[in-house]
Amino acid sequence: MAGAQATPPASDAGDPREAKDVRRAWRTLSVVSLASVLTALGGSALNVALPEVVRHFDASPVAASWMLLGFMLTNTVLAVVFGRFADMFGRRGMYLCGLTVYLLASLVLGLAPNEWVVVGLRVVQAAGAAMLITNSAALITEAFPRSRLGQGMGIYTASFSAAQLIGPTLGGFLTHEFGWQWVFWYNVPLGLVCLLWGYVALPRSRPSGGTRGIDVPGNIGVLIGLGSLLLGLSQVGQQGWTHPLVLGGVALFLVFLPFFIWIELRSPYPVVDVRLFRDAPLALNLVAGFLNSVARVAAVLLMALYFQAAHGETTFEAGMKVLPLPIATIIASTSSGFWQRWLRPRTLVVMGSATTTVGLLVLLAAVSPANGYLPVAFGLVLIGLGSGTFLPSNTTALLHGIPDDRIGIANALRLMMQSTGVMVGTALALSLVAGPLPADLRPHVFAGTLSGISGPAVDALITGYHWALSCMAGISALALLTSFGGRRADTRVAAPPGRTTDPNPASLQ
């Protein structure tokens, strides 16, 4: 996608130096977009192929959940670490190292002998992905002039949408035709191309020279806090909400949270710079990004499971039926740069959040044995349009004006909030969906075989979907209110010290 946009506009051609900078920016965008396709493909393809992997290893619901959650937890914890490393030592080397780790893990994953080895290798794969993701938006922000940042960020976000568009269908096709191993192996040739192009195209840059320190207690705190929360939520589907492990995990997170904030306020180089939350518009949009992720992230996974578990369809058929969501997302993401010429990014954030909320409500009404596919597809389209509008606009609003030596840590905080939302949303949705079913039937949901058990079992699953989608719609409504609050705060609060303003106000529209 980025390659098609690589020709700089004629307006930049008058100044040779400026034209050279713009060409360099488009080359950087092409590398970042290709790598984002690589990492997003792995996630979206596995969402559809998960039942096949579960059947192959006869995996438990806990192992099935941690094939997804282990990746997310590792990615979240390490993203903030690698964000600071990139600020200190340079982004190019970190990016190329991340690509290498991701490729090697993808290659070995197809050789895994059991389900827990898959979980372990997904953790390694997540470490490589964290090096990539925490640097992607920062590389684009550094490369593009502020007047074109919205356009570059929109294309970058659209690359994720393109991967989501291809991933479910490709993952279902490869699993159905060649086996689950190819869900990981097809990453390798694409990744090698990306690695070679990144070595050539990414500009060499000097480290920012910021404080060279790592917040070890803070990183351990992130691992303990989020790990306990996810451990508790991942057990809900098998043990129920009242089990001591579930209650203990959630309680440990709530008790540890204020202690973690106290640690970070005293740290000279915090892993989570809570002082950034003093900027009201920034704080509100960070919270909105978290809530939006919780609400929307599980839509593709849930619907792929729905078509397989409730209707007995193949992985390929399920992948085809969830296509409306990523198609709508890529259209909205690609258009984001254009709309930011006329509307403020925070206005688009509100519009995207509202559209996502309506889409989830439509999906809630559509998931029923009495309804056909078209209402489900309509709900997926609305969620996709909302997500594609929200993500690039929110990223632009957050990173615009951040000083260069703070971009990495600010972007890492954004990613941490977003990734935490992904983890919580996935764990919560999976637990709610399986909740109404007896414990002995829950593994059939993740294996995609529930429709062959009994009609009452499918009815109970539909009830679980109503629980999950109601919860997601409610959280999305909170994200809408928070987004609106961020927009209002942005019109009232002047840029705080350390944040610059764009000399071209039109670029913020």
With respect to residue 161, please indicate whether it lies within any of the assigned structural domains: yes
Are residues 275 and 253 both part of a single domain? no
**In the prediction, which pLDDT does 481 show?**
92
Identify the three-state secondary structure at position 7. coil
CA 220/CA 77 separation, integer angstroms: 9
**In the prediction, which pLDDT does 164 show?**
61
Which residue range is the domain that position 91 belongs to?
16-203+271-508
Calculate mean pLDDT across residues 203-207.
64
Percent of the chain at pLDDT above 90? 10
CA 486/CA 411 separation, integer angstroms: 18
Band (21; pLDDT cuts 50, 70, 90): low
Asked if 323 and 381 touch (Cβ cutoff 8 Å), the reply is no
CA 276/CA 497 separation, integer angstroms: 11
| Helix/strand/coil (H/E/C) assignment for every residue in 32-63 | HHHHHHHHHHHHHHHHHHHHHHHHHHCCCHHH
Count the domains in the chain.
2
Are residues 107 and 231 both part of a single domain? no
**In the prediction, which pLDDT does 503 show?**
33
Are residues 258 and 135 both part of a single domain? no
Tell me the whole-structure pTM to 2 decimals. Answer: 0.67
CB atoms within 10 A of CB 214: 15
Are residues 266 and 282 both part of a single domain? no
Are residues 290 and 349 both part of a single domain? yes
Band (87; pLDDT cuts 50, 70, 90): low
Are residues 292 and 438 both part of a single domain? yes
Are residues 264 and 307 both part of a single domain? no
CA 284/CA 425 separation, integer angstroms: 19
Q: Inform me whether the pLDDT recorded for 508 exceeds 60.
A: no
CA distances from 371 to 368, 376, 384 (A): 5, 8, 21
**In the prediction, which pLDDT does 5 show?**
40
Q: Inform me whether the pLDDT recorded for 357 exceeds 60.
A: yes
Are residues 483 and 430 both part of a single domain? yes
Are residues 198 and 292 both part of a single domain? yes
DSSP for 238-299?
HH-TTSHHHHHHHHHHHHHHHHHHHHHHH-SS-SS-GGGGGSHHHHHHHHHHHHHHHHHTTH
With respect to residue 8, please indicate whether it lies within any of the assigned structural domains: no
**In the prediction, which pLDDT does 7 show?**
41
| pLDDT digit string, tens, across residues 29-80 | 878 877 777 777 766 667 677 778 888 888 877 788 788 778 877 877 777 6
Tokens of 327: 């198609």
Average pLDDT of the chain, as a whole number: 77
**In the prediction, which pLDDT does 16 show?**
57
Q: Kindly report the CA angle at 216 between 212 and 221, in degrees rounded to 5?
A: 140
| pLDDT digit string, tens, across residues 407-428 | 666 666 777 788 778 778 887 8
Say how many Å lie between the first and final Cα of the chain, rounded: 24
> What is the CATH classification number for the domain harbouring 91?
1.20.1250.20
| Helix/strand/coil (H/E/C) assignment for every residue in 292-329 | HHHHHCCHHHHHHHHHHHCCCCCHHHHHHHCCHHHHHH
Q: Inform me whether the pLDDT recorded for 167 exceeds 80.
A: no
Band (360; pLDDT cuts 50, 70, 90): very high
Tokens of 113: 């002998």
Are residues 362 and 432 both part of a single domain? yes
With respect to residue 11, please indicate whether it lies within any of the assigned structural domains: no
